Chain A
Amino acid sequence: QQQVKQSPQSLIVQKGGISIINCAYENTAFDYFPWYQQFPGKGPALLIAIRPDVSEKKEGRFTISFNKSAKQFSLHIMDSQPGDSATYFCATSGPSGRHESSGDKLTFGTGTRLAVRP
């Protein structure tokens, strides 16, 4: 059972364009929504994350938009650069703050391979 659905599977964008990747989740108990970036041959690394108390978070060229009622969140990469070419994963976890053995497990989307053409 896939709890996080990510689209598109792959994306080609011209340099300077906007890249948009979408994720939808099912469990309303989730309260942490990160995006991870993975370059070939490397492990994923946290790019940006949002909590549901805000609808948008921006860090440089990267923005998360969050729609709690629709249970969707998206990553926008403004002014996309060839160096942004990587695989992007959305993820969810929660509810947080519980002191039990389940921890704060992340559930990942299936990934989006982004290629930014020069």
Chain B
Amino acid sequence: NAGVTQTPKFQVLKTGQSMTLQCAQDMNHEYMSWYRQDPGMGLRLIHYSVGAGITDQGEVPNGYNVSRSTTEDFPLRLLSAAPSQTSVYFCASSYFPATSASSYEQYFGPGTRLTVT
């Protein structure tokens, strides 16, 4: 199992550019989510999905779009990049609904470090 994979690892964008951060998992998890990590802010939820075709907003969704056409993939789109979106982005997945203590665990990818100039 590769677990949760993210591409690219690093990206530099200019203000106004758009791009897609890729996330894939091979654990057949229904629940997938995107977080951003900023110094002193912890991990903040951007968008999440409980299955193919179902997405919803998290705590900080503005400026980001998601879609979930398959169980495996959950791409995050930046529509018009802004310097405030400079951050490290993590994708995570878990079973849903959680039916045992172990199935609550969220598995994180290695992250994408994004810089917007």
Contact = CB atoms under 8 A, between A and B. Distances in A.
B68 to A, nearest CB: 12
Q: Is chain B's interface secondary structure helix, strand, loop, or mixed overall?
A: strand
A34 B48 contact: no
A43 B58 contact: no
A97 B110 contact: no
A9 B106 CA distance: 23
Interface residues of B, number: 30
B97 interface: yes
Interface string B76-117: 000000000000001010101110010011111111000000
B90 A102 contact: no
Q: From DSSP, what is the main secondary structure of chain A's interface residues?
A: loop
Interface in A27-72: 32, 34, 36, 41-46, 49, 51
A101 B54 contact: yes
B41 A105 contact: no
A104 interface: yes
Contacts of A89: 42-43
Contacts, number: 71
A110 B43 CA distance: 7
Interface residues of A, number: 30
A14 interface: no
Given A101-B54, A103-B50, A104-B98, A45 B42 contact: no
Interface of B: 4, 31, 33, 35, 40-45, 48, 50, 54, 56, 58, 90, 92, 94, 96-98, 101, 104-111
Interface of A: 6, 9, 32, 34, 36, 41-46, 49, 51, 89, 93, 96-99, 101-111
The 9 A-B pairs with the shortest beta carbon distances in the complex, nearest first, are A43-B108, A110-B42, A108-B42, A108-B43, A103-B50, A46-B105, A44-B108, A103-B31, A111-B42
